[in-house]
Amino acid sequence: MKILNESVVLTGYLVAAILFILALKGLSSPRKARRANRLGATGAVIAIAAYVLGHDIRNGAWIALAVVAGAAIAVPAARRVHMTQMPQLVAAFNGVGGGAAALVAVVEFTHGADAWAGSVIAFTVFIGGLSLTGSFITFGKLQGIITSRAVVFPGLGVLLGVLTLAAIATAVAMVITGNLLYAAALLGIGLVIGVLFVLPIGGADVPIVISLLNAFTGLAVAGSGVMLSNVLLLIAGTLVGASGTILTISMATAMGRSVTGIVFGAFRRARKSG
């Protein structure tokens, strides 16, 4: 439906961006926090309504179906979850968000991309994929599906190093050739690295890593904003990436830990024991 013109849509994005900032800000006061969360949700509704009312949209029925199906899963999950299981549910939600950002990037890549857009897409595909599996491993750890202890094996550090180099090489090949298969390969490498990155993290450090992966998804969303030339995605993603980084550091500090110690500590131990 093309009811709203472009400047109204952009104003809607501006309002949404302000509401997101107020939402994050309001969360630092227990009294205002619940209202702040509502402001955030209102911002999201305004932004999406503005886009939908301002553009001709194909596949409307499919999109509506996917939204209804997603909400039908998310609302009961969020409503029924036990208080002690909330952190892992947030991790799961974060993971699917990262997966969504990666898929959006892959789809955008099918339209072709120059070197700049291609690089942003490669970044988003990789970080989104990493966030997806990393978050699900943290979910599994907190939920007791997999052991919450640090899982390390000899050569893990080397394997991660090799995979990281492979990811860079694949990203370069993807940007140069424009071949979708490289994008799929990069997504695959991101998914594997997500698993290997979180496995060595144990017990009490897991919530901190959830926060770190949350910030990663924020960066992936910011990347989507750049490739889609959408200023709201850029602002919201960058906000979450930045505030999530600070939050991760404060959480670690509150527990007397350091973020680098958590992320790289396990590898150091692995090297000593292996």
Partner 1 sequence: MDVFALVTITVLAVFLGFEVVSKVSSTLHTPLMSEANAIHGIILLGAIMVAGQATEPLPLVLSVLAVFLATINIVGGFVVTDRMLVMFAAKPSRAGKKEVSK
- Per-position x/- string for 85-124, each x denoting binding to partner 1 as judged by CB under 8 A, each - no binding: -xx-xx--xx-xx-xxx-xx-xxx-x--------------
Q: How far is CA 118 from CA 107, 108, 115, 129, 203, in A?
A: 12, 9, 5, 16, 38
Report the half-sphere exposure of 191 (CA within 13 A, side-chain side): 10
Q: Can you tell me the distance from the alpha carbon of 128 to that of 124, in angstroms, rounded to the nearest whole number?
A: 6
**Which segment (17-25, 143-151, 161-169, 264-272) binds partner 1 by CB under 8 A?**
17-25
Q: Which of residues 249-268 bind partner 1 (CB under 8 A)?
A: 250-251, 254
Q: How far is the CB of 169 from partner 1 (least distance, A)?
A: 24
Q: How far is CA 236 from CA 3, 79, 128, 134, 197, in A?
A: 25, 25, 15, 22, 25
Q: How far is the CB of 160 from partner 1 (least distance, A)?
A: 25
Q: Can you tell me the distance from the alpha carbon of 93 to that of 91, in angstroms, rounded to the nearest whole number?
A: 5
**Which segment (138-146, 195-203, 217-225, 260-268) binds partner 1 by CB under 8 A?**
217-225
Q: How far is the CB of 155 from partner 1 (least distance, A)?
A: 33
Beta-carbon count within 10 A of 231 CB: 14
Q: How far is the CB of 153 from partner 1 (least distance, A)?
A: 30
Q: How far is the CB of 154 from partner 1 (least distance, A)?
A: 33
Query: Binding partner 1 by CB under 8 A: which of 122, 209, 235, 259?
Result: 235
Asked if 210 touches partner 1 (CB under 8 A), the answer is yes
Q: Which of residues 19-58 bind partner 1 (CB under 8 A)?
A: 20-21, 23-25, 27-28, 30, 33-34, 36-38, 40-41, 44, 47-48, 51-52, 55-58
**Which segment (136-144, 156-164, 192-200, 230-238) binds partner 1 by CB under 8 A?**
230-238
Asked if 149 touches partner 1 (CB under 8 A), the answer is no
Give whichever of 158 and 255 is closer to partner 1, judged by the CB atom.
255
254-271 burial: b if 16+ Cβ within 10 Å, else e: eeeeebeebbebbbeebe
Residue with tokens 């550091």: 249
Q: Is residue 94 a contact partner of residue 207, using CB atoms and an 8 Å limit?
A: no
Asked if 81 touches partner 1 (CB under 8 A), the answer is yes
Asked if 176 touches partner 1 (CB under 8 A), the answer is no
**Which segment (151-159, 164-172, 197-205, 245-253) binds partner 1 by CB under 8 A?**
245-253
End-to-end Cα spacing for the chain: 61
Asked if 63 touches partner 1 (CB under 8 A), the answer is yes
Bin 178: left if φ > 0, else alpha if -120 < ψ < 50, else beta: left
